[in-house]
Structure 1
């Protein structure tokens, strides 16, 4: 069938990615390269995705080996094995080798058998073997390795082939399904799960595949696989992790536990390994990695004596660091509608937007679409509002290509200050830019400034504050080429356009990047961000004016906020609005959170996207507060993830303000 051939083609792509990741040291696998005839360097994001997958499956296999160490014989049955090198890795690593049974489409395993026979290294590890003649399911048989060609949708054929090859049904067995069952009709894959529960008395089933198809990223993911004619069929009936757990329990498995890959990474990967991976190559796609990991899970179901042993156990030093919380209960929804007029040039992410004069919005930089190509953008985009609404648009050259910078409107007509940013994860932007609106049109004048020392950072914030009659731009956090998360702060005196030493007392926020900051009562409000640990923060810190210095205070929120980063924020009156971003600690999508800056009380709102024809990405975006219209203008958003390609919001979106802040006075 054509659909089966497309599913099989995912094996070839996956194998190339594994070889690329292994060649850079993300995991040890010197055997996978024998199953490809060319090299292909993948992106750091793809490397990390396959690294997480390898870590999870290896963790589960090691737990199985640990829990069966007193057994004389044990085995692994890999369903939909593709060109995985599992047997050869186990052959070298395990003191007591497991017998590995691999099953896939006949055409796949025949190709795999041929590649094994062509490799001297693999043949040596295999030892003596036979390749039965004929068209039967037995393709390659050795003492510790069996390769079978069977369509997994035919459970009776699978059972017969394993029986014919001499499988022991009574010994401890690990059944492994890595991104294989998801392509099968749900009824047939569920029957396969039930068959395994019935046939293997003391066994574990390890499943790695996708979940959460209905949120914005999930829609991009499922659309990608559908476009490859390899739809994720299991998601129609088992969209969430809890559905998968119940599926296994209903089919006879005694225990079942599943973690999404963010949970797994935060609890089961030792900190030294986290740091080692970070140092392998430059990486700056945190949003897309977390989104990808929130849509994949590892599941372990057990029965027999294996059900008495815990699975997916956290490593000791991380057992209390991460806790998956419930979805925040929304108090209502906020309507999102497309921008009322067609707009070009705003399909981008990693950019910045802010008010320009009193009736315009300027957007700078980012990565997005231009002339049908995805690239770093070298332009500025201006929207102007007239008597009949938003009636002027202009895109102009003059931007230097930086992204993930800060954009700060300055008081007293000083223009807009652009600080920091990067051209690549190894090349920070140098100098500062002043943007000035030229009256009477959409033109923006850009002036280069040479501030010393240069801040050499990105994913930071820069906020105007006031102290003793002097105006400063307060720069906090971010990341640099050498430091994952920065904690230091800097003050740029606007009168002198030079850095000043300003006294700040109290306990500062922990080092972070991708946080947000707003001006408030002469000081600043710092919210969220991604910490040195790689996990988001839920904190809100206030830089309070206490003449002749500033004072850090932490605001306790009621209820506690869900940690987030890559969001935007605004202050309206005494209320802080947190807009969008990435949640790692719960399986839902952030909307708008309103926090009372005096009491700490917080209220959550969903964003109602039913009027939009595309999945709204509220990360990598920018937002502009429109208090007169009682709306938020969301500009851009999206990213480039894994093999799913670049996904960008089609056009700007207007979101109504929450009832609690409408008509509130502005500071």
Structure 2
């Protein structure tokens, strides 16, 4: 007879059971949060999403999420739908859609309501969770009318069984049961979906599921998971990993497969072909432009930096054993040679949690106004210390503060909530704000340069114009100058600029905020009776929103922002341009690991890089430290 377990062994067995049950419950709990966000999306974007309201059957009380979270969940769901559609376009006959870790996802009811033919849905999740889902389904005449009454079959964890919908209870780590459930699939093309469901499993367990799915005839696997494109130390990654760890549902696959190439290698163990895109690439490639414009009309949106950063940390992998690939557009990823002559160093100016303020130097002191923390600030800082000033402007963000002659500064425009642009102008002497005559229009995400003792030129930020305004802060009047060419300098948003009084440079910026489209050029300009410019460099690496420019000796240095084509990392967050070369300015390991920069909503004063931060999806906010370049 085998030896009976010792008491300490029995205690360990019991403890392991309790821990597994607790971890399973925590993973199931992630469904509750995401389903509320998806219901928010369904309410806001009901006119451009699949027809009908299906999340309402599983979320009795909806909550409105922020615009960035709404768009984040919308692109998650829409990407999966679009990939499914593209696979189905190349498919004749029956299609089985197997949703692994389905939660309360109503995808089957959305597509059945759209009259897609020859589709059978197989929803699979923890038995406790799908039992709850079943009770909700039974209370919905609308769903029951779509799927019909169950035939009463209960074999192999099958809880509900109709011709077009089957609901299974299965802990996916129970491979034996899962494999038996796969034997019940109808003949046809099989599309397996895993929307951040295998991510919580140990990668060995998750890969076993992928392996079993790959052995099913005509198998496609569509998985949405997080990646760490810049490693685990960048601000977004730290927030994301800490969030799930705190929920006791840590992401177990992401550290094993942190980059796109790792995910491709993972799936090619089991499938002949595998392709990958992050969610922002899917936004650009899979979503029609007219849909993007309509979204802007439904909900004002001005969080492109945060949205893109989130999207670049989530990927869709499509794997299959035939040649029916979804993606055809090649990547614009750029690798750079290193510039070791410039260094990023920590500043002794205290850091403040603030993003999208306006700043400039007055007599060598750094002054900062406004910006966003929990609310839009109306305070003024001097070297990061709040000072008392008179006649403070209304709290705002995305405005400008420009040093002018006489040891003064000029504040122009900005916004309060998205879409509410300001047109006011203030002059600041270091102690008091004097309101001047307004501009004729609101303006934001613009830049201002001093062109003589009385006038400043305003570039970008206008809603509808093809001329550049010049504001005279002595006479308090606005005039306009013209420019030629195809680039709309009046409407470009959040670009980098530097100007020495004779020659200036512009790079990056949003040229169409609906899509968005970014400027990928380095532009040299001069100013006389007109705004004259020429394009001197072009590269996908310059295609950024919210970069900052600074001239250091004979090099143009581009600091931060968010790149259209790839997530910026330790070696290309800062780049330098000298003649025809674009070089990466590497960030020292100690800074990258312990004081990681987050150059979004940041400001540059001389060679100082100050403030900045972002909301990292639903994981919380992160803020940057203060630095300088030498």
Tell me the TM-score normalised to structure 2 length. Answer: 0.89
CA contact (8 A) 1:174 1:204 kept: yes
- What's the CA shift for 1:273? 1.5
The reply to whether residue 10 of structure 1 matches residue 3 of structure 2 is no
The reply to whether residue 496 of structure 1 matches residue 475 of structure 2 is yes
CA contact (8 A) 2:481 2:529 kept: no
- What's the CA shift for 1:264? 1.2
CA contact (8 A) 1:103 1:150 kept: yes
- Relative distance call for 1:123 and 1:226 in structure 2 (3 A) is same
- What's the CA shift for 1:328? 2.8
For residue 159 of structure 1, give the secondary structure of its aligned residue in structure 2: helix
- What's the CA shift for 1:553? 1.8
Q: Mapping of 1:187-202 within 5 angstroms?
A: 187-198=204-215, 200-202=216-218
- 1:27-49 CA-to-partner distances (Å, cap 9, x unmatched) read 12521211112111111111111
- What's the CA shift for 1:105? 0.8
The reply to whether residue 232 of structure 1 matches residue 212 of structure 2 is no
Q: Gaps spanning 5+ residues in structure 1: where?
A: 314-318, 369-373, 385-392, 438-443, 626-631, 658-667
CA contact (8 A) 2:488 2:511 kept: no
- What's the CA shift for 1:587? 3.4
CA contact (8 A) 1:593 1:605 kept: yes
- What's the CA shift for 1:234? 0.4
Q: Which residue does the alignment assign to 1:463?
A: 449
Q: Mapping of 1:362-441 within 5 angstroms?
A: 362-368=367-373, 374-383=374-383, 393-396=385-388, 398-413=392-407, 415-437=408-430
- Relative distance call for 1:520 and 1:509 in structure 2 (3 A) is farther
- What's the CA shift for 1:175? 0.7
CA contact (8 A) 1:405 1:418 kept: yes
- What's the CA shift for 1:494? 4.2
Q: Which residue does the alignment assign to 1:248?
A: 267
- Relative distance call for 1:250 and 1:503 in structure 2 (3 A) is closer
Q: Gaps spanning 5+ residues in structure 2: where?
A: 1-20
Q: Which residue does the alignment assign to 2:180?
A: 160
CA contact (8 A) 2:359 2:400 kept: no
**Inter-partner Cα distance in structure 2 for 1:182 and 1:21:** 23
**Inter-partner Cα distance in structure 2 for 1:422 and 1:474:** 19
**Inter-partner Cα distance in structure 2 for 1:513 and 1:246:** 39
**Inter-partner Cα distance in structure 2 for 1:333 and 1:123:** 68
Superposition CA RMSD, Å: 2.4
CA contact (8 A) 1:327 1:588 kept: no
Q: Mapping of 1:604-619 within 5 angstroms?
A: 604-608=584-588, 610-611=590-591, 613-619=594-600
- Please state which structure has a larger fraction of its residues in strand: 1
Q: Which residue does the alignment assign to 2:311?
A: 293
For residue 568 of structure 2, give the secondary structure of its aligned residue in structure 1: coil
**Inter-partner Cα distance in structure 1 for 2:360 and 2:122:** 59
- Relative distance call for 1:507 and 1:574 in structure 2 (3 A) is farther
The reply to whether residue 181 of structure 1 matches residue 198 of structure 2 is yes
Q: Which residue does the alignment assign to 2:238?
A: 219
- What's the CA shift for 1:507? 5.3
CA contact (8 A) 2:240 2:616 kept: no
- Relative distance call for 1:329 and 1:46 in structure 2 (3 A) is same
- Relative distance call for 1:506 and 1:137 in structure 2 (3 A) is closer
**Inter-partner Cα distance in structure 2 for 1:585 and 1:548:** 37
Q: Which residue does the alignment assign to 2:526?
A: 544
- What's the CA shift for 1:275? 1.3
Q: Which residue does the alignment assign to 1:528?
A: 508
Indicate which of 450, 472, 483 corresponds to 2:437: 450
CA contact (8 A) 1:80 1:177 kept: yes
**Inter-partner Cα distance in structure 2 for 1:464 and 1:363:** 18
Q: Which residue does the alignment assign to 2:170?
A: 150
- What's the CA shift for 1:130? 4.4
**Inter-partner Cα distance in structure 1 for 2:553 and 2:154:** 80
Q: Which residue does the alignment assign to 1:579?
A: 559
- Relative distance call for 1:638 and 1:479 in structure 2 (3 A) is farther
For residue 266 of structure 1, give the secondary structure of its aligned residue in structure 2: helix
Indicate which of 47, 68, 77 corresponds to 2:91: 68
Q: Which residue does the alignment assign to 1:390?
A: none
- What's the CA shift for 1:220? 1.9
Q: Which residue does the alignment assign to 1:664?
A: none
**Inter-partner Cα distance in structure 2 for 1:282 and 1:560:** 28
- 1:15-70 CA-to-partner distances (Å, cap 9, x unmatched) read 1111111112251252121111211111111111111112211111112221222x
Residue range with higher mean Cα deviation, 124-133 or 426-435: 124-133
- What's the CA shift for 1:103? 0.6
- What's the CA shift for 1:152? 1.1
**Inter-partner Cα distance in structure 1 for 2:370 and 2:138:** 53
**Inter-partner Cα distance in structure 2 for 1:115 and 1:95:** 23
- What's the CA shift for 1:522? 2.5
**Inter-partner Cα distance in structure 2 for 1:184 and 1:266:** 30
For residue 325 of structure 2, give the secondary structure of its aligned residue in structure 1: coil
CA contact (8 A) 1:336 1:609 kept: no
The reply to whether residue 52 of structure 1 matches residue 75 of structure 2 is yes
- Relative distance call for 1:263 and 1:538 in structure 2 (3 A) is same
- What's the CA shift for 1:144? 1.5
CA contact (8 A) 1:568 1:623 kept: yes
CA contact (8 A) 2:436 2:476 kept: no
**Inter-partner Cα distance in structure 2 for 1:210 and 1:361:** 39
CA contact (8 A) 1:526 1:542 kept: yes
Q: Which residue does the alignment assign to 2:139?
A: 118
How many residues align? The count is 596
**Inter-partner Cα distance in structure 1 for 2:280 and 2:158:** 39
- Relative distance call for 1:502 and 1:276 in structure 2 (3 A) is closer
Q: Which residue does the alignment assign to 1:662?
A: none
**Inter-partner Cα distance in structure 2 for 1:272 and 1:289:** 19
For residue 192 of structure 2, give the secondary structure of its aligned residue in structure 1: strand
Q: Which residue does the alignment assign to 2:18?
A: none
Q: Mapping of 1:11-26 within 5 angstroms?
A: 11-25=31-45, 26=48
For residue 301 of structure 1, give the secondary structure of its aligned residue in structure 2: strand
The reply to whether residue 91 of structure 1 matches residue 103 of structure 2 is no
**Inter-partner Cα distance in structure 2 for 1:531 and 1:550:** 18
CA contact (8 A) 1:564 1:581 kept: yes
Indicate which of 217, 224, 237 corresponds to 1:208: 224
Indicate which of 450, 472, 477 corresponds to 2:455: 472
CA contact (8 A) 2:496 2:509 kept: yes
- What's the CA shift for 1:337? 4.2
